[in-house]
Chain A
Amino acid sequence: MDESSREKNAIKTPSASDMQYYYQHMFPFKVIFNWLNHSPKAGRDIINREFAMAFRSGAYKRYNSFSSVQEFKTAIEKANPDRFEIGAIYNKAPKERDSLLKTEMKPLEKELVFDIDMDDYDTFRTCCSGAQVCEKCWKFITLAMVVVNTTLKEDFAYEDLIWVFSGRRGAHCWVSDRRARILNDLQRRNVLDYVNVVRDRNADKRLSLKRPYHPHLVRSLELLKPHFAKIILEEQNPWQDDNRAFETLLPSLHDKNLIEALKKYWTENPGRSSRDKWNDIDLVASKDVKVNKKQDYIIRLRECKADLIIATLYPKLDIEVTKQTIHLLKSPFCVHPSTGKVCVPIDANFSPDQAPRLMDLQKEMENNGNNINKTTLQPFINIFQEHVNKIMKHDMGTAKRERAEEAKTSLEF
């Protein structure tokens, strides 16, 4: 509530000169450069890396590339885009594209990325709508981060991943492990499908996941279950609205008679809370079912309820972003053009009002003699820098190991 009114009153969206100032004095070009390069010395991973710039006018300029931090900074400052995006590493430098045949440009590698957007939760979100977010609904995103992190780390053994606030109502995950960077499109698609359990966003059909659950689902359910009562039944309480309950709760049940009985009951007793309705399901079921089938019936019902927890809380991914190597995604530390918030790295303790705003940062700079170290942006830069250090260390380790491997195999011949 108060967030949206604040947005209306106080926020002026960043102007072109605000952005100019930000790129000139604050944006951590070197950190981003090293992050994408995986090494302190400029190499292929950054030189052949595509950047795209998006402008206020709606113009979008693809195939930029930079071979040094200086060139990177100068070019962005000069073009002064609203935001810029990061794409794949190609076999040639993207800026030379015009002098090449189109077929000569081949995407080779890129971080594995995931994108979660609040939009996709609207079926069960009641606290806010549209572009708004608050602490309550941000919990969807936090939970999504936890589940995706666990999956990527435990199942795929990825280590170097970081989450970045998208500036308004979502989050991006960047996986920088070498093994993730070299995935081809087919592999990306499969990793995505593995992680992406809830494909249909409408909740007008039963999810009917296979039984027994795959271990990944068993674990995810365990992670989500403890939060279901608080987030869904209490805070969001989507099914207090009877029509919404008919449309998004009842279709998940397996038994027609039960659905009819509940519909009747809720029509006669309108406006019961989500928690009451959740409990009604069991009560009505136990009354109506014949004893001889009970055992089986109860199991089925419990499965439907488990599926529902997954349907409401399991991370909802924007699949397009993950599917292809060449897909571009907004760079960390960009400023969201309509909220003025910086896209900072985040963890499970983050909530959107903690993201620094460009306007505030400018004031901080004014007051502390242009010392960026003393701004509220600096802690986020430090976190990111630490992450980059870790990646570089891992990459150096892999490179060394690979060289050793090679030496060994070439000896054998």
Chain B
Amino acid sequence: MFRQSKKRASSRKNFSVTDGEDGQLILGTSSASEKKLYDSIYASKLSFYELPPQGEITLDQFEVWAIDRLKILLEIESCVSRNKNMKEIEAIIKPHLQKTMPFNMDNLEAKKKDYYSHFILRLCFCRSQELREKFVRAETLLFKLRFNMLTSQDQIKFVQSLNLPSLQFISDEEKEKLKVQLYQTVSSQLQFQLNLHDETQREAYFKREKFIKLPFEDVIELVGNRQVFLRGGYAYLPQFQQLNLLASEFASKLTQDLIVTQRNLPQLNEDDRLLPILQHLSSGYTISDFQPDQYSKEDGDITANSVYSADIAQHYPLCVKNLFRGLRENHHLRYNGRQQLSLFLKGIGLSADEAMKFWTNAFTNGGHITVDKFNKDYRYNFRHNYGLEGTRIKYKPWDCRTILSKPRPARGEYHGCPYRDYNVEKLSNDLAQMNLTKTQISAVLDSCQKTEYTIACTQVFEYTHGSASSRASEDQTHIAHPNLYFERSRLLQKQQPSS
């Protein structure tokens, strides 16, 4: 890779917290010593990220690596908000990991990328308690996912490398004495987490299982949902739940480190090259990776007429349905609405010619606007969006972030995002009409309440596409683009056996 501007982004000044000496920095890094370092860090495949990174990276790498990791963390965050369980999250995240953050292989670049990107994001997310909690939650989940992807030998090797305070397994006598309670506690986990559906299987597993006894505070997240047996202030943790222990260790270490990083952050502000990047990363960055061209348009079945047909319209997200509703009622849309809809339609494959037909029709069929007036006042605008007029820029369909950043719709305007702009009643009504159940509706409203509009939208997508979208093979990532909503919905329908 071409090193444009070399920057010791890794210098201990930025990352280290304990001393300001440059003494330990590996200067003039030979890739051999670098390789040795990262090989040793990743000897057991995973890392607790205990030492600050060393070596040099370019500004480009700095940004790209951080963004790649950030996307994964945001995707995880979205899964959590949508109440996905571990298995579902794994199915969603794994392909992403393989694509941008592969691990568990002998590749220096991949190791460095993992290590650096983690530390760069620490800088972005250490600034407030809220950001810290978010980061810790997502990183801890990522850690769990990766741990689960290791072979059991590697898992053991990793655990040994951590030097955790030695785990106290209970004696056979103690297990025998508590066997009724212990079995009551783990039986449903064996069934639902380890898929042992048969009672005798579960009993056999239980017989072999070892239990760790530790203060309940150490596995506090298993206490609330009664996943551990408690007695005398101790929790009895089955070994198959050990990962939770590691995860809570990971989380508490990271939380402490982030606080220290925050304290040391002012030093970093001197560096004016990094700051804008960090700012960009931590300020409401959302995932919208959507590339319209990623979906083929060869069918050519999107026309001025067909966009009204149920066959096509059933795939529109709520914002688009809302725009159509406004257009039909008023035979007109104000500027922002026109932009939002026309670029969306362009994105789903409505050609420039068909678009002119569509808009002329929609505006003139109410009788208020003549074709002449349309040609005079509006035609230019639509042609412009197709890059046929003026600066000839090819405008892209708006993603949800863009949509949400425009002024909110005033009376008689229809742009924006219904999950933000509708009142509770209207939204519940619309959702009920889409056949969502009461609980589903209240889950969506919850997300809206938390201002997580794209999550609400993704939930609606999942609820309305039911079993089809929960097939493990499907792409279930977060939806943050109306065109993605459309394309994915169509794709699912096409894959559906026609029966």
Contacts and interface: CB of A to CB of B under 8 A. Distances in A.
Interface string B205-243: 000000000001100110111100111111000000000
A143 interface: no
B111 to A, nearest CB: 32
B181 interface: yes
A202 interface: no
Contact of B185 (A156, A157, A187, A215): A215
A192 B225 CA distance: 10
A16 to B, nearest CB: 42
A186 B180 CA distance: 29
Contact of A212 (B184, B223, B224, B225): B184
A18 B385 CA distance: 78
A25 B482 CA distance: 71
A216 interface: yes
B188 A211 contact: yes
The interface centre, meaning the residue of A157, A194, A211, A212 with most chain B CB atoms within 10 A of its CB, is A194
A306 to B, nearest CB: 14
A156 B233 CA distance: 4
Contacts of B14: none
Interface string A204-224: 000000111111111000000
B187 interface: yes
A187 B187 contact: no
Contacts of A156: 216, 230, 233
Nearest to B219: A190
B226 A155 contact: no
A217 B185 CA distance: 10
Most B CB atoms within 10 A — which of A190, A210, A212?
A190
A215 B184 contact: yes
B466 to A, nearest CB: 22
Q: Of residues B187, B216, B221, B232, which shows the largest number of chain A Cβ atoms within 10 Å of its Cβ?
A: B216
A158 B232 CA distance: 8
A192 B224 CA distance: 7
A179 B185 contact: no
A215 B183 CA distance: 9
B184 A179 contact: no
B125 to A, nearest CB: 18
A187 B234 CA distance: 14
B223 A191 contact: yes
B220 A212 contact: no
A210 B185 CA distance: 10
Contact of A157 (B188, B220, B225, B233): B233
A92 interface: no
B230 A216 contact: yes
A254 to B, nearest CB: 18
Given A212-B187, A218-B184, A154 B232 contact: yes
A189 interface: yes
Contacts of B232: 154-155, 157
Nearest to B227: A214
A189 B224 CA distance: 7
B185 A214 contact: yes
Contacts of B188: 210-212
B184 A194 contact: no
A155 B230 contact: yes
B227 to A, nearest CB: 9
Secondary structure call for the A interface: helix
Interface string A174-212: 000001000100110111111000000000000000111
Residues of B in contact with A, size category: 20 to 34
Contacts of B226: 194, 214, 216-217
Interface string B169-189: 000000000001101110110
A296 to B, nearest CB: 14
A187 B184 contact: no
Nearest to B217: A187
A213 to B, nearest CB: 7
Contacts of A155: 230-233
Interface in B145-166: none
A190 B233 contact: no
Contact of A190 (B180, B184, B224, B231): B224
A217 B230 CA distance: 12
B223 A215 contact: no
Nearest to A157: B233
Contacts of B229: 214-215
Interface string B224-268: 111001111110000000000000000000000000000000000
A154 B232 CA distance: 5
Contacts of B221: 186, 190
Contacts of B224: 189-194
A191 B226 CA distance: 10
Interface in B472-492: none
Contacts of A213: 184
Contacts of A192: 224
Contacts of A191: 223-224
Contact of A194 (B183, B187, B223, B233): B223
A155 B217 CA distance: 12
Contacts of A194: 223-224, 226, 230
Nearest to B189: A210
A192 B229 CA distance: 15
Contact of A215 (B181, B217, B220, B225): B181
B130 to A, nearest CB: 13
B198 to A, nearest CB: 15
Interface in B123-159: none
B55 to A, nearest CB: 32
A156 B224 CA distance: 13
Contacts of A183: 217
Given A154-B232, A156-B233, A157-B232, A190 B220 contact: yes
A155 B236 CA distance: 11
Nearest to A215: B181
Nearest to B182: A215
Contacts of B225: 193
Contacts of B231: 154-155
Given A154-B231, A155-B231, A190 B223 contact: yes
B259 to A, nearest CB: 12
A412 to B, nearest CB: 15
Nearest to B230: A155
A212 B187 CA distance: 7
A194 B185 CA distance: 13
Interface in B276-308: none
Nearest to B223: A190
B220 A187 contact: yes
A395 to B, nearest CB: 17
A217 B226 CA distance: 10
A210 B225 CA distance: 11
A2 to B, nearest CB: 43
Contacts of B220: 186-187, 190
Nearest to A214: B226
A311 to B, nearest CB: 17
A214 B232 CA distance: 16
13 contacts: A154-B231, A156-B216, A156-B230, A157-B233, A179-B217, A183-B217, A187-B217, A189-B224, A193-B224, A194-B226, A212-B184, A213-B184, A218-B181
Given A193-B223, A194-B230, A217-B226, 9 more contacts: A155-B233, A156-B233, A158-B233, A183-B217, A186-B221, A190-B221, A212-B187, A216-B230, A218-B184
Q: 3 shortest A-B CB distances, which residue pairs?
A: A157-B233, A193-B224, A190-B224
Interface of B: 180-181, 183-185, 187-188, 216-217, 220-221, 223-226, 229-234
